[in-house]
Structure 1
């Protein structure tokens, strides 16, 4: 089977989205800390749900416990997350991103903006693309 990526069918759109995502991910993060794909997914979920538990995070991303533990250790070592005991149940751990993580994300997003600004010069086209991508993101869970 040959992948052409030249059609407008859903499978071609998926292929194009993956190609673009890989190119964005492989681009230098500028001044930001380089994250693996998995670390990026975990950070996005933590930012979306501050205070999420490791168990809920693992379930949401459908990861093995060992992969989740290793990823959280790596993110903690990079200074991007902090683990705290739940104030109501001391046995439970909550995960939040750090202020350093927010600064890092700002730097990375600035690099993305610089990389894409010349490619998305039309505000109407950009707004439409953003709406479509948000719909896909919400629809895929």
Structure 2
């Protein structure tokens, strides 16, 4: 990788972090408060309902104690519920609650309004979404 590419990729990561901070700040008034660790766990459970705690911990790349703490907090907030696995009672499956779905809708409205001011062209939004999904997939594949 040459220096120009290194600089370009660093700027991309820096911009993603800056945008993430703006989105996190905007949600403060819009939804149930959570930490970045809780957000990572909740995002995984929303995308993979019925996942085990082990699957979620591995996918979010959180150490066991941090994952357990985030999961407990999400349960206390009424955003996640545990259910025994019907095939193996020793295993627990994680599911988002109705409160989590309402929270997600509220967040969707807030973030959509915020980003509509910055990215109003549908083709541009689609291109950015495609690129970011590919980047996320590549990064997840490195586990």
How would you bin the TM-score normalised by the shorter chain? 0.7 to 0.9
- Aligned partners of 1:84 and 1:93 also within 8 Å: yes
Q: Provide structure 1 residue ranges, at least 5 long, that are not aligned to the other structure.
A: 1-6
Q: Deviations over 1:17-63 (max 9, x none)?
A: 11111111122344311211111110111112111111222122222
What is the RMSD computed on CA atoms of the aligned residues? 1.6
- Aligned partners of 2:23 and 2:111 also within 8 Å: yes
Residue 31 (str. 1) matches residue 35 (str. 2): no
Q: Provide structure 2 residue ranges, at least 5 long, that are not aligned to the other structure.
A: 1-5
Q: Deviating runs (4+, > 3 A) in structure 1?
A: 28-31
Correspondences of 1:41-52 after superposition (within 5 Å): 41-52=40-51
Structure 2 equivalent of residue 11 of structure 1: 10
Structure 1 equivalent of residue 77 of structure 2: 78
Correspondences of 1:90-129 after superposition (within 5 Å): 90-129=89-128
- Aligned partners of 2:80 and 2:95 also within 8 Å: yes
Closer/same/farther in 2, CA of residues 45 and 119 from structure 1, 3 Å limit: same
Structure 2 equivalent of residue 60 of structure 1: 59
TM-score, normalised to structure 1's length? 0.88
Q: Deviations over 1:61-82 (max 9, x none)?
A: 2222221111111000111000
- More helix by proportion, 1 or 2? 2
- More strand by proportion, 1 or 2? 2
